[in-house]
Structure 1
Amino acid sequence: MNFKKNAWKKTAVALAAVMLLALLVLPNGVRQASAAPAAEASIMLDGRAIDGAEPLVLKGTTMVPIRVVSEQLGYSVDWNQSAGRITIGGDPVPLVLTIGSQTADAFSGAVKMEQAPFVRSNTTYVPLRFVGSQMGLGVKWEQSSRTVYLQSPAAEPPAPAAPAIPAAPAVPSVPSTSGGTPAPSANNVSIDGISFSDNRLTISAGGAVTPSSSVLTAPDRIVVDLPNTAFGPALQAGGNLKLGQVAKLPVETSSAVKQVRYSLFSESPSTVRVVIDLNRSVGYNLYTEGNLVLVDLNDDGAAPPIGTNGKKIVVIDPGHGDHDPGGVGNGVQEKDVVLNVGLKVAALLKQEPGIDLIMTRSDDTFVTLDGRAKIANDANADVYLSIHSNIASSNSASGTETFYADAARSKSLSDTIQKHVQAATGFKDRGSKQANYLVIRKTTMPAALVELGFLSNKQEAAVMVQDDFQQKVAEAIVAGIKEYLGLN
């Protein structure tokens, strides 16, 4: 199906309007949810406080009211009262939502929400994560102030002031006084994602970038400058990164690295600077792979680029992270389970001489769905596997399942992963099946998404948090990957 990207974004943003209409013509019989409001929580849309728009928390999922947001964005919709169905847009592709359903129909197929839209006190709520992924809005939850920040595609909300990254003597500074934030343009390449895992800094750019680096001491740090770049929307969600303002990426899985910092270092030319703060001096290798900029750290000297000597590149993607807990059931958060399994998979894959590993995250950080797919695509990976656990409204739902988007490219991988992982979990075999999840739809290599089990199922949740179970599943995942790649 062909359509223009901007037109789809406009259609996706139009989802906001559907809930306003739903309130006016809501069908009879819709059950009102009993969620408790989050005390003193608030919503900021494009830097403006929205009055009377308190978020709610339902079973660990942050829910936001769409009515007030839709009043600000306002798109036309068509309401079919007899079917309880609302169609948004139609040029070029409609978006369809059914009141009370946990599934919305997008251009790519069915899109599942963590919780179904519900009504409380004449207000309709949808999951915060769904708002971000399907409406084209930047989303950020700030726990300390209990504030949801929403940013529409053309908006530029303010950000709190932060200390500047000290200018490195070895990298000359270019003075600037405007204090603005250059946007990605024909002259500025967007920086869309920054992550650190497995002793590797990965910077995802929207085009080709020519980086430079320097090593500084007292304290030890590696400075990477990216000339003719600017922060893309994903890194500006919830607040601008103006000249001199700094964002920090905590690192918990490396003995060599304290943290990663990044900022807009210069406006003329627009330059993003990334600093790796070190606990000790280490060797490193700076190189590009497609539109990725990579810094591999190595105590023994320069690390070889990924994929050297015919090694297969495997991307492991533990889902969710940071403010996005994923599914929550029986006191267990999905982001924690899948990260633990992912780290165990990584430890095993590092021992395989024929495999180079990339992790989308190796600690409690967040990477956007597009960012996860882009990391794999830019690395020209041979295999992409996203690890998740399931959630359902019924506590009796159970089992292991694996998904693929493109049958010709990915069904064999999905079938192999399902075979090994289901045998390891011992849960009900829900099969290998087709779905349109973004991360496996937008990846260009064989890609699969595995759902280990259901956190909403008390028995499965209790097992999934056990270390020996997670190790067994990790071994099964590695066995499946090796079988698929012919490395057994």
Structure 2
Amino acid sequence: MKLGNHMWKKTAAVFMAVMLLATLVLPGSIRHAAAAEAGTRIVLDGQTIEGAEPIVIAGTTMVPIRIVSEQLGYSVNWNQNSGRITIGSSSSPPLILTLGSLTAESANHTIAMEQAPFVRSNTTYVPLRFVGSQMGLGVKWEQASQTVYLQSRLEEPAAPATPAVPVPSTPVGSAPVDSVPVVSTPSSAASIDSISFSDKRLTISAGASVTPKSTVLSNPDRIVVDLPNSAFGPGLLQKENLSLGKVATLPVSNSAVVKQVRYSLFSESPSTVRVVLDLNRSVGYNLYTQGNLVIVDLNDDGIAPPAGTNGKKIVVIDPGHGDHDSGGVGNGVKEKGVVLNVGLKVAALLKQEPNIDLIMTRSDDTFVTLDGRAQLANNAEADVYVSIHANMASSSSAGGTETFYADAARSKSLSDTIQKHVLEATGFRDRGSKQANYLVIRKTNMPAALVEIGFLSNKQEAALMTQDSFQQKVAEAIVAGIKEYLKLN
């Protein structure tokens, strides 16, 4: 189901919607203090921000704007002559604060503040309530430890949904809301099993059909995708605590457009997973579903057709294991790291192939279940699936390269071709192309192969597999095998 192309421009209206989130009510103990007590600190997403001690002025808690905002990826510029602080970037409507002024400016609009910004010890302070509303933060005060907790929840869309971190409604002077509820996954919710980014394409794999909704926000630029009636599946939950309001990050490297991808359980009623692409600049995108996949395609500013159209072949690359599942560990080397490095190198090469659309089962140190990997490839209606692994044995003398297939009629030719090229690249002993009943190649509907590059239990082979040049050579061999099998040479 294709949901259409989106070519968005930043607007002041969207920015103002983010700015005017519900104000945060802090307990009287912080609002009415005459000054910050010794040891008062700010904690952002579980990490103490060094040098960011809050100050309380006339009952208003003030925080250092540069330290807090730059931790969140905002640019901050200070004009000493005019006393003006500009937050944002020159490519989007900036937010402008002025020392001593109770109003901030954005695209010809003004936003009131309860306390004017001021400078102390070369540090510019702004009201904590302003930081919370402007930057979409959850804010919590813990009296016992004299700590301000900031949670970079995923941003509210222009039409607000249930907030990821509940806004405290405690009356002034009574106990604050200190805890975030633990999520119990609704049985009716579709499981979100994997999230990956490759080839300017975000791929979200779900256990059932979902209908995504998207919003574009600016200052900074980002694309917000909500997945109603969904919850995190066991693979993503094993990586970390993803209860309500907890935010996980998918790093993105070598992208001129995307800084990172963040995701969280945004709402429990209904259960909704939210995914945010943090951008370096505004960009068009195409949001569509393919089977149980949700795809956000940034190629050609969103005007590129869906994966697999115009005769392109869809190739799924699956670096094995991930996160808590290290795979084999031999001679101090973890399989999950080696195969991810090789997989990312394969991805970089496949991105250069005009007749191939690439999908990765994982693009960082996350875990995807075996069923989830096969399901992703099946939903994508892939033409080829290649799973990348490294071997282990009880004997340190065991060694060599081997490739497996499950269904001979469907996959033996692909396995034979991959084995031929990778063997030439490694120079290891030829252990052959052979049949095996591994789940990921048994449950995939397309030609599928699982390649074991070499043995981590073999000291010489393990040492080679950690070398960047060797990994690149193997990646080139895998790509050569795929291209030969698909007759794209």
Q: Same fold (TM over 0.5)?
A: yes
1:453 equivalenced with 2:450 (yes/no):
no
Letter in 2 for 1:170: A
Question: Can you list the C-alpha shifts for 1:169-188, whole angstroms capped at 9, x where unaligned?
Answer: 413214798946353434x3
For residues 239 and 162 of structure 1, do their structure 2 counterparts lie closer, same or farther at Cα, with a shift above 3 Å needed? farther
1:224 Cα deviation after fit: 0.3
Letter in 1 for 2:187: S
Letter in 2 for 1:173: A
Contact map agreement 2:239 2:323 (CA 8 A) in 1 = no
For residues 270 and 321 of structure 1, do their structure 2 counterparts lie closer, same or farther at Cα, with a shift above 3 Å needed? closer
For residues 175 and 283 of structure 1, do their structure 2 counterparts lie closer, same or farther at Cα, with a shift above 3 Å needed? closer
- Correspondences of 1:67-466 after superposition (within 5 Å): 163=151, 165-174=153-162, 179=181, 181=183, 183-186=185-188, 188-237=189-238, 241-298=242-299, 300-466=301-467
Letter in 2 for 1:429: D
Contact map agreement 2:205 2:376 (CA 8 A) in 1 = yes
Q: TM-score, normalised by structure 1?
A: 0.62
Question: Can you list the C-alpha shifts for 1:428-466, whole angstroms capped at 9, x where unaligned?
Answer: 110111112221122111111001111221222232233
- The alignment yields a C-alpha RMSD, in angstroms, of 2.5
1:373 Cα deviation after fit: 1.6
Contact map agreement 2:201 2:299 (CA 8 A) in 1 = no
Contact map agreement 2:400 2:431 (CA 8 A) in 1 = yes
Letter in 1 for 2:403: T
Instruction: Work out the CA distance in 2 between the residues paired with 1:308 and 1:404.
Output: 27
Contact map agreement 2:256 2:280 (CA 8 A) in 1 = yes
Task: Give the match's secondary structure for 2:411.
Answer: helix
With CA pairs under 8 Å and 6+ residues apart, which has the higher RCO, 1 or 2? Answer: 2
Question: Can you list the C-alpha shifts for 1:54-84, whole angstroms capped at 9, x where unaligned?
Answer: xxxxxxxxxxxxxxxxxxxxxxxxxxxxxxx
Contact map agreement 1:317 1:361 (CA 8 A) in 2 = yes
Task: Give the match's secondary structure for 1:475.
Answer: helix
Letter in 2 for 1:475: E
Unaligned runs of 5+ in 2: 1-148, 167-179
1:377 Cα deviation after fit: 1.1
Instruction: Work out the CA distance in 1 between the residues paired with 2:302 and 2:238.
Output: 37
Instruction: Work out the CA distance in 2 between the residues paired with 1:363 and 1:175.
Output: 28
Instruction: Work out the CA distance in 1 between the residues paired with 2:357 and 2:163.
Output: 41
Aligned to 2:71: none
Contact map agreement 2:154 2:266 (CA 8 A) in 1 = no
Contact map agreement 2:235 2:367 (CA 8 A) in 1 = no
Instruction: Work out the CA distance in 2 between the residues paired with 1:468 and 1:258.
Output: 26
Contact map agreement 1:182 1:230 (CA 8 A) in 2 = no
Contact map agreement 2:163 2:267 (CA 8 A) in 1 = yes
1:223 Cα deviation after fit: 0.4
Instruction: Work out the CA distance in 1 between the residues paired with 2:414 and 2:161.
Output: 49
For residues 325 and 162 of structure 1, do their structure 2 counterparts lie closer, same or farther at Cα, with a shift above 3 Å needed? farther
Letter in 2 for 1:268: S
Letter in 1 for 2:393: A
For residues 373 and 251 of structure 1, do their structure 2 counterparts lie closer, same or farther at Cα, with a shift above 3 Å needed? same
Task: Give the match's secondary structure for 2:303.
Answer: coil
Contact map agreement 1:282 1:299 (CA 8 A) in 2 = no
Instruction: Work out the CA distance in 2 between the residues paired with 1:230 and 1:342.
Output: 28
Question: Can you list the C-alpha shifts for 1:327-382, whole angstroms capped at 9, x where unaligned?
Answer: 22223322232222222222222222211111222333332322222221110101
For residues 473 and 174 of structure 1, do their structure 2 counterparts lie closer, same or farther at Cα, with a shift above 3 Å needed? closer
Contact map agreement 1:184 1:231 (CA 8 A) in 2 = no
Give the total of aligned pairs.
Answer: 327
Instruction: Work out the CA distance in 2 between the residues paired with 1:370 and 1:376.
Output: 10
Contact map agreement 1:184 1:232 (CA 8 A) in 2 = no
Contact map agreement 2:361 2:368 (CA 8 A) in 1 = yes
Unaligned runs of 5+ in 1: 1-160
1:399 Cα deviation after fit: 0.7
Instruction: Work out the CA distance in 2 between the residues paired with 1:257 and 1:444.
Output: 32
Contact map agreement 1:325 1:334 (CA 8 A) in 2 = yes
1:480 Cα deviation after fit: 1.3
Instruction: Work out the CA distance in 2 between the residues paired with 1:457 and 1:233.
Output: 33
Instruction: Work out the CA distance in 2 between the residues paired with 1:357 and 1:175.
Output: 34
Contact map agreement 1:167 1:173 (CA 8 A) in 2 = no
Instruction: Work out the CA distance in 1 between the residues paired with 2:452 and 2:157.
Output: 49
1:485 Cα deviation after fit: 1.3
Question: Can you list the C-alpha shifts for 1:286-314, whole angstroms capped at 9, x where unaligned?
Answer: 11110000112236443321101011100
1:162 Cα deviation after fit: 8.7
